[in-house]
Amino acid sequence: MREQPPQPIREPRNLSWRVGVLAVIFTVGLSLLFFRLWYVQLATGEVWAREADQNIVSVEPIPARRGDIVDRNGLLLATSVPNLVIEIDRAVLPLEVEDEVIQRLAAILDVSPVEVRQAVERTPSGQVASLIGFEINADTAYLILEQRSTLPGVEVRALPIRGYPNSSLMGHVLGHMGLPSPEDLERLTTPYIDTPVGKLGVEREYDPFLQGTPGKTAYRIDPEGNILELIGTVDPVPGSTVRLTLDADLQREVERILIEAVDLSNAIKAEQEITDPDEIPPPTERSTALVMEINTGAIRAMASYPTFEPEGFVGGIDVETFEELSDRQAFNNLAIQGLKPPASTFKTITYVTAMEESIFPEGVSSPEETIECSARLSADFTDDSQLLWRNWTFPEADGDQNLHDAFRRSCNIYFWEVALSIWDRYARTDREGIVQEWASALGLGRPTQVDLPFEQEGILGNRQLFEEWQENQPWRVRQEGWLGGDLMNLVVGQGPIVTTPLQMAVAYASLMNGGSVYQPRVAEAIETAEGERIRTLGPRLLRTVDISPSTVESLRRDMTAVVSSGTARRAFQDMGPMVDLVGGKTGTAQSFVDQEGQFHDSTAWFIGMAPMDSPRWVVVVMVDEGGSGGAVAAPAARAIFQYLFGEEVIPLAPGEDTER
Q: What is the pLDDT of residues 248-260, one digit of tens each?
A: 999 999 999 999 9
Are 522 and 242 a contacting pair, CB within 8 Å?
no
Mean pLDDT, rounded, for 110-114: 89
pLDDT, position 225: 64
Residue 476 lies in a domain: yes
The Cα 86–Cα 516 span in angstroms is 53
**Residue 473 maps to a domain:** yes
Q: Is the residue at 471 inside a domain? A: yes
* Assigned domain for 103 exists: yes
Q: For 335-346, what is the mean pLDDT?
A: 98
Per-residue pLDDT at 638 exceeds 80: yes
Q: 428 pLDDT band (50/70/90 cuts)?
A: very high
In this predicted structure, the answer to whether residue 37 has a pLDDT above a threshold of 80 is: no
Assign residue 89 the CATH number of its domain: 3.90.1310.10
In the beta sheet, which residues pair with residue 476? none
Beta bridge partners of 515: none
Residue 258: strand pairing partners: none
Is residue 191 pLDDT above 80, yes or no?
no
Region for residue 385 given its phi and psi (left: phi exceeds 0; alpha: psi -120 to 50; beta: otherwise): beta
Closest CA to 250 of 622, 655, 645: 645
Strands 286-293 and 376-378: unpaired
Instruction: Indicate whether 246 belongs to any domain.
Output: no
pLDDT at 315 over 90: no
pLDDT at 2: 43
**Bond before 306 cis per omega within 30 degrees:** yes
Q: Which of 114, 134, 160 is the last residue of a domain?
A: 160
pLDDT band at 14 (very low <50, low <70, confident <90, very high): low
For residue 163, the model assigns a pLDDT of 93
Domain presence at residue 45: no
pLDDT of 40 reads: 47
Average pLDDT of the chain, as a whole number = 89
Number of residues that this document lists for the chain = 660
Burial degree of 130 (CB within 10 A; 0-12, 13-18, 19+): buried
CA dihedral 293, 299, 300, 304 (to 10 degrees): 130
For residue 651, pLDDT beyond 50: yes
Residue 610, pLDDT above cutoff 90: yes
Over the stretch 473-495, which tens digit does the pLDDT of each residue have?
999 998 889 999 999 999 999 99
Per-residue pLDDT tens digits for 275-290 = 788 888 999 999 999 9
d(CA 610, CA 581): 6
Number of domains in the chain: 2
d(CA 295, CA 519): 10
- Looking at 138, 160, 182, the residue that finishes a domain is 160
Q: How large is the C-alpha radius of gyration of the chain?
A: 36
Average pLDDT over residues 192-212: 90
Per residue in 130-169, pLDDT tens?
787 787 888 888 888 888 888 888 888 877 889 999 999 9
Higher pLDDT, 91 or 225: 91
> Is 104 domain-assigned?
yes
**Which structural domain, as residue segments, surrounds residue 149?**
81-160
Query: Facing residues of 215 across strands?
Result: 62
Q: What is the mean pLDDT of residues 528-543?
A: 94
| The pLDDT of residue 286 | 97
How far is 174 from 465, CA to CA, in rounded Å?
Answer: 35
Residue 17 inside a domain? The answer is no
Burial class (CB in 10 A: 0-12, 13-18, 19+), 488: buried
Average pLDDT over residues 593-599: 84
> At a CB cut-off of 8 Å and minimum separation 6, what does 179 contact?
122, 123, 193, 194, 196, 197
pLDDT of amino acid 427: 95
